[in-house]
A and B are shown apart, each in its own frame.
Chain A
């Protein structure tokens, strides 16, 4: 299929990349990541977060270099390196990856609702309704998806302030002494942050939709920086609020922290927070379905609308079978590992390959 440039009316301004990356990174991991990273690195895990964030900046830089060199998205990059057919075949994995990712996000969110709010909520029907909403959004075009990401970040931003109530009951001495764990433990914790942190790699997939992509690079870096800071601050507050063994038992530490919030007109805030979380994960699911269907279009030449239905059907058919905590946990771990492999292993590889291919092509031209 020939490379068609994306028409200008479908492209987005560069600064909107900030909202896209940030809303994709902040998803379902935020609710319970503190326990996972504290498992290895204890209360020094906030250092691991900063370290992971720094690594991500490097990866983002690489992504922009790739996009800049090949002038397109990941399919173009593959074609640049290994040719047409193989390039398309490699993308096949990513379709599966993003379908799994959207499945994970939806199922984990429904699990949270089932544990905290409505134990009898039917998994299938709620995800059906949710998927219809996602289809409605994606059919509005990429701009609608970006709009959802924008509002999914701006409107629930006040939730960050609600964690301030926990500070009253916190003891920041919990964090001392700093660097009480070995470097290996800290690195392991960084590794475990991966499911929470991934989301920035989507830039590779919508690169041609950005107007003047070079200008958007600083926004992408700003987004990763902000997310890292938010996660670090939240982790610090969590560590100060809970004692270590107490945190080890909290599956969803952020939600438990909301139990202490008390406002004059609302007695228990966590229900409002969880309901608002719907708005936060909506862009995550929409973006991944959009990417999956766009990859289907690029690889198989099927219309994107048909691709969307295919992805939605795949998610809905599998979601019913994930009914226990272990299965969901396993899925989360699996997707986390895949995400880690993709972002920290595959992208540098691709970067190297593109650079080599570029040098070779230059040599050939001469």
Chain B
């Protein structure tokens, strides 16, 4: 029960704890009351230590009722109070707490009598209204200040054609972008508050009559089971609700584009929006989705199929080419075509290091360049990146530390690994090269195949939300292949992906969409 203090901001309300040993019952009662009192004032005690805790009292001009406004100054939008709330409260007539509902022009006005809510509401940007005459009830007025970064272009998933809106940190804004694109009643948004300290709002979105119930239940259950203190980004959620957090492969896709989220919701997947993060998570997902950029849907299907295949080839090339170089030069000289043999031998003549060390040296150099380039501020970073790359490359060839053939190979492999449209997968590809290098050094070509088997098994075992990660490659679903490695035209994509086991697998009626006409009709 909050007590109203006259013109005092500090809450020094200490009761003397008398130790009355003669009357244990009385002591117990006293202590209990002290505890209760202290409990009730705990929130004020710690909040008062913050500079932005404000408590101001006003008199209503008409009825002379004294009321107080308590709020955290950094969280509220002063304009709402100044222009909207205060004039009405000061000039209009109000006597009781219930009146403020009609007077205050803010939508979210609540009247509560539960003191435990005070702390939570105050810290969420509500203004608490207390009346001198009313001790039990108090009102909360929503006056949150939203500082939002303006809509900008997507950084990672930039597309040349297509919409260039990207998510921002505010959940309200993000949900607005999504709702705008799917203005149907089936789009359900469920909200959770996760994180004991951060109390981050996390929303789960799905289409009611399309998405499979099991998937929804699993996500809901996993989200409610999250136990962590501060969740500041969606990546935390990724790691906390992944099927297998030991795997380098991401099992949830994240995206910055609202159009992509709208697309996948229509397919029957589930989106997770985290307040404070411009990345929205998508689940369940499969391996092939990490290699498809959303731009594929804006281009003609032949072009986009071709580009997807190039991307897949680039990824395979990027992972395998350096290990193949190491294996071939260390063990299998017979494989090299005789014309290339002279080039390779002469390029390696001066090198004191065996191929594996040479390759590791170059790989690590490229990783260093990448890491350094990521940390330096933009202007300095670009110069150092280019100059460093060229200078280091040329100098190491001249010094005889690496061969120029290997330099080209490693540079091409690095370039090829940048083609993955999803940033998370790009990092995984970077990492995958090293076990292959290790196995190539150990057993040559046989080692590379062996490592590939290990990788394959890992992928087969991996699940995303309980669904196999390698779908539609394994278990092979020919129907789903139409949007995996290649993309068939929209007329052919009349069914939703099978692996989602959606309630309503048909997107549109194919018969109506396509009517065959004869030549001269």
Asked if A and B touch directly (CB within 8 angstroms), the answer is yes
Do B457 and A278 have beta carbons less than 8 Å apart?
no
Looking across the interface, which residue of chain A has its beta carbon closest to that of B340?
A265
The listed residue (B332, B337, B456) touching A271 by CB distance below 8 A is B332
- The listed residue (A13, A268, A278) touching B335 by CB distance below 8 A is A268
Residues in A neighbouring B476, C-beta threshold 8 A: 150
With A and B bound together, what is the CA distance between A264 and B454 in angstroms?
30
A147 within 8 A of B: yes
User: Which chain A residues border B332 with CB–CB below 8 Å?
Assistant: 271
The answer to whether A267 touches B446, judged by C-beta atoms less than 8 angstroms apart, is no
Contact A133 B450 (CB under 8 A): yes
Query: B446–A13 contact, CB under 8 A?
Result: no
Please indicate the chain B residues that have their CB under 8 angstroms from the CB of A13 in the complex.
475
User: Is the CB of A177 closer than 8 A to any CB of chain B?
Assistant: no
**Beyond A150-B474, A267-B334, A267-B337, is A144–B460 a contact (Cβ under 8 Å)?**
yes
The reply to whether B452 and A118 contact each other, CB–CB distance below 8 Å, is no
- Tell me how far the C-beta of B248 lies from the nearest C-beta in chain A, rounded to whole angstroms: 16
Q: Which residue of A lies closest to B476 (CB)?
A: A150
Residues of A with C-beta under 8 A to B334: 267-268, 271
- The B427-481 residues at the A interface (CB cut-off 8 A) are 443-446, 448-450, 452-454, 456-457, 460-461, 468, 470, 474-476
* Min C-beta distance of B344 to chain A, whole Å: 12
Whether, in the assembled complex, A163 has its beta carbon less than 8 Å from a beta carbon of chain B, the answer is no
- Asked whether any CB of chain B lies closer than 8 Å to the CB of A252, the reply is no
A12→B475 CA distance, assembly (Å): 9
Query: B451 to chain A: closest CB distance in Å?
Result: 10
Complex CA distance for A266 and B341, rounded to whole angstroms: 11
Q: Which residues of A contact B460 (CB under 8 A)?
A: 137, 140, 143-144, 147-148, 151
Report B-chain residues with C-beta under 8 Å of the C-beta of A130. 450
Q: Give A126 to B450 CA distance when docked, in angstroms.
A: 10
The residues in A between 39 and 83 inclusive whose CB is less than 8 angstroms from any CB of B are none
Q: Which residues of B contact A314 (CB under 8 A)?
A: none
How far, in angstroms, from A272 to B320 measured CA to CA in the complex?
Answer: 14
Query: Which residues of B, 331-375, contact A by the 8 Å Cβ criterion?
Result: 331-332, 334-338
Contact assessment for B457 and A148 in the assembled complex, using a CB-CB cutoff below 8 Å? yes
Number of residues of chain A lying within 8 A (CB) of chain B: 33
Q: Which of A268, A274, A279 contacts B452 (CB 8 A)?
A: A279
Chain A residue contacts of B474, Cβ below 8 A: 147, 150-151
Name the residue on B nearest A156 (C-beta): B449
> In the assembled complex, which residues on chain A have CB atoms less than 8 Å from the CB atom of B335?
266-268, 271-272
Residues of chain B within 8 A (CB-CB) of A118 are 331, 443-444, 446
Given the complex, which residues of B lie within 8 Å of A229, measured CB to CB? Answer: none
| Candidates B337, B443, B448, B456; contact of A266 at CB < 8 Å | B337
Q: Which of A136, A144, A272 contacts B445 (CB 8 A)?
A: A272
A residues less than 8 Å from B338 (CB atoms):
267
- Chain A CB within 10 Å, residue with most, of B331, B335, B446, B454: B446
Q: Is A129 an interface residue (CB 8 A)?
A: yes
Which A residues, 143 to 178, have Cβ-Cβ distances below 8 Å to chain B? 143-144, 147-148, 150-151
Interface of B is mostly: helix
| A282 contacts chain B at the CB level, 8 A cutoff | yes
State whether A140 and B443 are in contact (beta carbons under 8 Å apart), knowing that A13-B475, A151-B456, A268-B334 are contacts in the complex.
Answer: no
> Which residues of the partner chain B approach A12 to less than 8 Å between Cβ atoms?
475
Q: Which residues of A contact B457 (CB under 8 A)?
A: 133, 136-137, 140, 144, 147-148
Residues from 79 to 137 in A contacting B, C-beta threshold 8 Å:
113, 117-118, 121, 126, 129-130, 133, 136-137
**Interface residue? A322 (CB, 8 A):** no
Most buried by A among B331, B334, B453, B454: B453
- A140: B residues at CB distance < 8 A: 457, 460-461
Taken residue by residue from 250 to 286, chain A's Cβ proximity to chain B (1 for < 8 Å, 0 otherwise) reads as 0000000000000011111001101110110010000
Q: How far is the CA of A267 from the CA of B337 in the complex (A)?
A: 5
Question: For the complex, is A355 an interface residue (Cβ under 8 Å from B)?
Answer: no
Inter-chain contacts of B452 with A (CB < 8 A) = 279
Q: Contact check, A282 vs B453: say whether CB atoms are below 8 A apart.
A: yes
Say whether A222 faces chain B, with CB atoms less than 8 Å apart. no
Q: Are A265 and B470 in contact (CB under 8 A)?
A: no
What's the minimum C-beta distance from B313 to chain A, rounded to whole angstroms? Answer: 15
**Beta-carbon nearest neighbor of B446 in chain A:** A275
Cβ contacts under 8 Å, B448 to chain A: 275
Task: Map CB proximity to A onto B462-506 as digits: 1 under 8 Å, 0 otherwise.
Answer: 000000101000111000000000000000000000000000000
Chain B residues near A282 (CB-CB < 8 A) = 453
Please name the residue on chain A nearest to B470 by beta carbon.
A147
- B454: A residues at CB distance < 8 A: 133, 136
- Verify if A16 is at the interface (C-beta below 8 Å from B): yes
Q: CA–CA, A137 to B453, complex, Å? A: 10
Q: Judge whether A278 and B475 touch: CB under 8 Å.
A: no
The chain B residue sitting closest to A138, CB to CB, is B457
* Contact A275-B475, Cβ < 8 Å, known A137-B457, A151-B456, A266-B335: no
Closest residue of B by beta carbon distance from A121:
B443
Most buried by A among B334, B444, B450: B450
Which residues does chain B contribute within 8 Å of A271, judged by CB atoms? 332, 334-335, 445
CA distance A275 to B448 in the complex (A): 8
Q: Please give the distance in Å from B412's CB to the nearest CB on chain A.
A: 15
Asked whether, in the complex, the Cβ of A278 is within 8 Å of the Cβ of B449, the reply is yes
By the criterion CB–CB under 8 Å, are B461 and A279 in contact? no
CA–CA, A272 and B444, complex, Å: 10
A278 touches B446 (CB 8 A): yes
Q: How far is the CB of B438 from chain A (nearest CB, A)?
A: 12
A294 to B244, CA, bound (A): 26
Contact indicator B461/A113 (Cβ below 8 Å): no
28 sample A-B contacts, Cβ–Cβ < 8 Å, listed by A number:
A12-B475, A121-B443, A130-B450, A133-B450, A136-B457, A137-B460, A140-B460, A143-B460, A143-B468, A147-B460, A147-B470, A148-B453, A148-B460, A150-B474, A150-B475, A150-B476, A151-B460, A151-B474, A266-B335, A267-B334, A267-B338, A268-B335, A272-B335, A272-B445, A275-B444, A278-B446, A278-B450, A279-B449
19 more CB-based (< 8 A) A-B contacts, given A117-B444, A118-B443, A271-B334: A13-B475, A16-B475, A133-B457, A136-B454, A137-B460, A143-B468, A147-B457, A147-B470, A148-B457, A150-B475, A150-B476, A151-B456, A265-B337, A267-B338, A268-B334, A268-B335, A271-B445, A272-B445, A275-B448
Closest 8 CB pairs of A and B: A147-B460, A275-B445, A140-B461, A275-B449, A268-B334, A278-B449, A275-B446, A147-B474
